[in-house]
């Protein structure tokens, strides 16, 4: 019975927070649009600040904004009044978070923003509060029922959700895409999954090019030297016209003992499978798996007949892409 009681409590808490988020969803208005536009157009930094649990929410929102291309950080409300106000410049945007809007530690920051004409966005739940009245853009969070009636839970959930909505909306406004995201997340599994073909392909002199009229006896030496398991066949205009794999060489040599005296174009496969250099490497791996091949010719969409690289499955796996 005791275990069941705690399960019921957990579900009640989650239900309270769901209801709070539903109220927040209905409360979104044009003030939200104004905030998004200002954040997206900000030429300096977006600085967030709160006290207690609102301060923790401020740190999370700042981290999310920074991760989607908006320079942002959280400011300690207590340290701000002891010199850290100097971190705020006139072109910054200040977002203050407070459920009551009357938090004493924020008053000096509010006064500072007014004196220096710094854009102030409030995330607050009380219209008659100091913060609400002083702010330039007012994001009014609906009053919600807290778990156990007193513990800040549902209110901080709505603050967090509103912050996420601001970050993603400003990202959409600036057309911040996966490639922009990749630049800010180069490490870890996320960074690996966002690597492009161009990031890991073989280029330059390492590409095993052969002319279509070259004898196979000479082509085999290039195949052995480049160690990619393929030869990329070009015509005299340097356009890619075919491919030869080491598997093809083995099969052909078993059938024709004189194959080394043949020209490359006699045994090449025409219309080889290619991929654009800007595609994700993960997509390239999926293509290789579906076609049961170990290497892809890489080109530029604007010049599909010109090979700019070779992508081998080993390069993908070494980059921890799956």
CA 75 to CA 55: how far, in whole Å? 8
pLDDT digits (tens, 9 = 90+) for 212-240: 999 988 999 999 898 898 999 999 899 99
Q: Which two tokens stand for residue 115?
A: 């004196």
Task: With a cut of 70, say whether residue 2 has pLDDT above it.
Answer: no
Distance of alpha carbon 169 from alpha carbon 173, whole angstroms = 6
pLDDT tens per residue, range 81-96: 888 999 999 999 999 9
User: What band does 71 get if pLDDT is binned at 50, 70 and 90?
Assistant: very high
Specify whether the CB–CB gap between 156 and 58 falls below 8 A: no
For residue range 151-205, what is the model confidence (pLDDT) as tens digits?
899 999 999 999 999 999 999 999 988 777 777 777 667 777 788 899 999 999 9
pLDDT confidence of residue 185: 73
The mean of the pLDDT values for the chain is 90
Task: Report whether 233 contacts 242 (CB < 8 A).
Answer: yes
pLDDT value of position 30: 96
1 has a pLDDT exceeding 60: no
Q: Tell me the C-alpha distance between 55 and 234, whole Å.
A: 62
In this predicted structure, the answer to whether residue 5 has a pLDDT above a threshold of 90 is no
What is the spatial distance between Cα 159 and Cα 154, in angstroms, rounded to a whole number?
9
Taking residues 39-45, report their average pLDDT: 95
Using CA atoms, how far apart are residues 166 and 155, in angstroms rounded to an integer? 17
For residues 119 and 191, the model is more confident at 119
Is a pLDDT exceeding 90 seen at residue 320? no
Structural domains of the chain, with CATH: 2-176 (3.40.50.10490), 197-318 (3.10.580.10)
pTM to 2 decimal places: 0.73
Return the biggest CA–CA distance within the chain.
93
- The first and second tokens of residue 258, run together, are 């004189």
Q: Does the pLDDT of residue 137 top 90, yes or no?
A: yes
Q: What is the pLDDT of residue 120?
A: 97
């Amino acid at each position: 019975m005791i275990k069941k009681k705690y399960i019921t409590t957990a579900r009640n808490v989650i239900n309270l927070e769901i209801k709070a988020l539903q109220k927040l969803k209905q409360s979104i208005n044009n003030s939200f649009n104004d905030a998004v536009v200002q954040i997206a157009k900000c030429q300096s930094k977006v600085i967030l600040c709160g006290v207690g649990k609102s301060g923790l929410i401020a740190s999370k929102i700042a981290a999310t904004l920074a991760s989607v291309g908006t320079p942002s950080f959280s400011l300690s409300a207590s340290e701000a009044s002891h010199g850290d106000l100097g971190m705020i410049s006139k072109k910054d945007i200040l977002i203050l978070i407070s459920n009551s809007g009357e938090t004493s530690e924020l008053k000096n920051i509010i006064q500072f923003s007014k004196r220096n004409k710094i854009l102030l966005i409030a995330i607050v739940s009380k219209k008659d509060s100091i913060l609400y009245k002083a702010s330039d853009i007012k994001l009014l969070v609906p009053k919600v029922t807290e778990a156990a009636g007193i513990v800040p839970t549902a209110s901080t959930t709505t603050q967090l959700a509103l912050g996420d909505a601001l970050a993603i909306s400003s990202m959409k406004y600036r057309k911040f895409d996966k490639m922009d995201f990749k630049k800010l997340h180069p490490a870890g599994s996320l960074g690996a999954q966002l690597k492009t073909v161009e990031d890991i392909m073989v280029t330059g002199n390492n590409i095993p090019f052969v002319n279509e009229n070259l004898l196979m006896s000479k082509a085999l030496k290039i195949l052995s030297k480049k160690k990619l398991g393929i030869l990329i066949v070009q015509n005299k205009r340097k356009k890619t016209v075919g491919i030869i794999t080491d598997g093809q060489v083995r099969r052909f040599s078993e059938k024709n003992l004189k194959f080394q005296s043949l020209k490359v174009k006699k045994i090449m496969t025409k219309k080889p499978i290619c991929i654009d250099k800007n595609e994700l490497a993960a997509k390239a791996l999926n293509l290789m798996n579906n076609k049961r091949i170990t290497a892809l010719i890489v080109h530029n969409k604007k010049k599909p007949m010109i090979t700019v690289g070779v992508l081998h499955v080993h390069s993908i796996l070494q980059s921890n892409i799956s």
